[in-house]
Amino acid sequence: MTMNTQGRPTDAGSAGTSSTDTFTGNRGLQIEEALLFEVGRHDVTGVDLDEPVAFAPRLGKLARTSAIDLPGLSEPEAMRHYVRLSQKNYAIDSGLYPLGSCTMKHNPRLNEKVARLGGFGDIHPLQPLSTVSGAVELMAELGRWLIEMTGMTSVALSPKAGAHGELCGMMAIKAAIAARGEARDIVLVPESAHGTNPATAALIGFKVVTVPARPDGTVDPAAVKALLSPQVAAIMLTNPNTCGLFERDVVEIAAAIHAAGAYFYCDGANFNAIVGKAKVGELGVDAMHINLHKTFSTPHGGGGPGAGPVVFSERLAAFAPLPFVRIDADGPVLVEDEAALKSGEQPFGRMVAFHGQMGMFVRAVSYMLSHGADGLQQASEDAVLNANYVRAGLRDVMSQPSGDRTCMHEVLFDDHFLDGTGVTTLDFAKAMIDEGYHPMTMYFPLVVHGAMLIEPTESESKASLDLFIATLRHLVMRAKAGDVERFREAPRFAPRRRLDETRAARAPKLKWERPQPLSEAAE
Ligand SMILES: *Cc1c(COP(=O)(O)O)cnc(C)c1O
């Protein structure tokens, strides 16, 4: 078998492509897209330029002597290229996107409209403050909402993603420990954690110690207590966790962490499930990032940059990086530089040069104001309801590692139900592509064998969930009926079949080589 079974005519003879080969390599109306360098010609241009008037170049020896070697395309060719590329990007705007842990929720178009208003969209971070007071007020207002929803003391808006927020929170913890004159160097991270948690701790010099999970994927306070010592700086705990379950013992864990003189970092990527339901400040959290792109509907996954503001408890607020928002007697204040600090505040530095992702702040505030407090709470409730609707619709045919416990915003299945069928989690996911569904998150969290983590989000309708459930039920029945070929061959209808992902990662081709023209290759 060739490395990538792409189903193109030149691959004739490679496994599993014969029944769906086409002469062009196109499938249905999905067109094969070559690079511009492969389709363009030097003698074509999409614009008519006048011959330049004669002039004496002043570049001396720096003047280019060879052709620039850029491909020329007509306007329709360039247009088609980019439109087709845009259509290859599967998005929440094209269909259900049940990628657990990623919260691919709908981004209302109102957000886009507001983000494009000139007063927000056309400003520059170096403009005089007096010309951007509305933007500053919007940031302070966003901070006020985030502080209110989490029951925390201050918020740094600047981190540009969840992982960047983790770095911000852990740097504040490091600064707080240094200010106490201590040398704690261990960070506890549960087995089920997102990979960014241990990576963040290790990046800034902490030693990572893994906390084992219970069989259902939750953290046992006894396991945490057994690991506590004067060397422990913090725990990084995700709640709701990556198995889609609320960590019920979180208050007991927080108390034990604090009694040991350590800090509680909460990975808040799953905040979408608890907005308006639980204030993390009251659970004992000291720092938590909020992925605006997961909870407050700002686009992500190829659709836009993320934003990962970090909220801080009273214990850590003094170390928040500049700029940060604190609530003063007359409302929220955006503290931008040293001159505005109160006594005792000692920011550990800055995460970015300016303020972070302004466009995402505007979208998040637009989402918050258009929903209101009750609407945000309802969104969380609907996210949890939708995940449990999927769970209830599949629990008799798919297996859950946590028994039959009510889940939060995402439902976790393992591959037990495929035992003896010869079909793997990967095969199952690929068969979903043939049915027009982006697969769920697979093989994560690692604590569960053959994990399939489904997060429908609140914005899917009942009809959409019913079809999704019916499709998965159909696939389970086909697997149990021994229709293994269908799964091994999947995806049959996608422009690309199965890629050798390991080889692609281990031996990436870093240099582009001009492909043979199809006519020559066929000879
Ligand atoms: C998405 C996610 C992160 C990382 O967030 P990014 O914005 O992708 O950097 C961290 N932890 C969990 C549990 C997540 O789901």
Do 268 and 398 sit in the same domain of this protein?
no
Among the listed residues 476, 485, 386, 500, the one whose alpha carbon sits nearest the alpha carbon of residue 425: 476
CA 218 to chain centre: 22
Q: What pLDDT is stored for residue 43 in this prediction?
A: 83
Q: Using CA atoms, how far apart are residues 104 and 294, in angstroms rounded to an integer?
A: 7
**Residues in CB range of 147: below 8 A, 6 or more apart:** 153, 154, 155, 311, 325, 327, 332
Question: How many structural domains is the chain composed of?
Answer: 2
Alpha carbon nearest to ligand 1 atom 2, residue: 269
Q: What pLDDT is stored for residue 517 in this prediction?
A: 66
Alpha carbon nearest to ligand 1 atom 4, residue: 162
Give the mean pLDDT per block of 10 residues along the chain (523 residues): 38 46 86 88 84 88 85 91 90 93 94 95 92 94 97 97 97 98 97 96 98 92 98 97 95 98 98 97 98 93 84 97 94 92 96 95 98 97 98 97 91 97 97 97 94 97 98 98 97 90 92 72 52
Do 161 and 218 sit in the same domain of this protein?
yes
* 95 in a structural domain: no
Final residue of a structural domain among 347, 366, 385 = 366
Q: What pLDDT is stored for residue 496 in this prediction?
A: 86
**Cα–ligand 1 centroid distance for 8 (angstroms):** 36
| 3-class secondary structure, 237 | strand
**Cα–ligand 1 centroid distance for 453 (angstroms):** 15
Do 293 and 213 sit in the same domain of this protein?
yes
Do 313 and 238 sit in the same domain of this protein?
yes
Do 338 and 378 sit in the same domain of this protein?
no
Q: Is the bond preceding 445 in cis, omega lying within 30 degrees of 0?
A: yes
Q: Is the dihedral of CA 26, 30, 36, 39 positive or negative?
A: positive
Among the listed residues 252, 211, 178, the one whose alpha carbon sits nearest the alpha carbon of residue 447: 211
Q: To test the ligand 1 pocket, which listed residue (274, 291, 294, 357) has its Cβ within 8 A of the most ligand atoms? A: 291
CATH number at residue 474: 3.90.1150.10
Do 342 and 381 sit in the same domain of this protein?
no
- Residue carrying the six token digits 């659709």: 303
Do 453 and 433 sit in the same domain of this protein?
yes
Do 253 and 387 sit in the same domain of this protein?
no
What domain range includes position 449?
Answer: 374-484
Do 320 and 386 sit in the same domain of this protein?
no
Q: Given 3-state DSSP classes, what are the helix, strand and coil percentages for the chain, each rounded to the nearest 5?
A: 40, 10, 50
Q: Using CA atoms, how far apart are residues 356 and 165, in angstroms rounded to an integer?
A: 11
CATH number at residue 271: 3.40.640.10
Do 163 and 241 sit in the same domain of this protein?
yes
DSSP 320: P
Final residue of a structural domain among 366, 401, 423 = 366
Do 267 and 316 sit in the same domain of this protein?
yes
**Cα–ligand 1 centroid distance for 165 (angstroms):** 9
Distances (CA, A) of 220 to 196, 223, 247, 476: 22, 5, 9, 33
Angle, vertex CA 422, rays to CA 421 and CA 424, nearest 5: 105
Residues whose beta carbon lies within 6 Å of some atom of ligand 1: 101, 161-163, 194, 196, 238, 242, 267, 269, 291, 306, 308
* 60 in a structural domain: no
Across the beta sheet with 154-156, the strand order is 207-211, 186-190, 232-238, 263-267, 287-289, 310-312, 154-156, 324-328, 331-335
Do 210 and 294 sit in the same domain of this protein?
yes
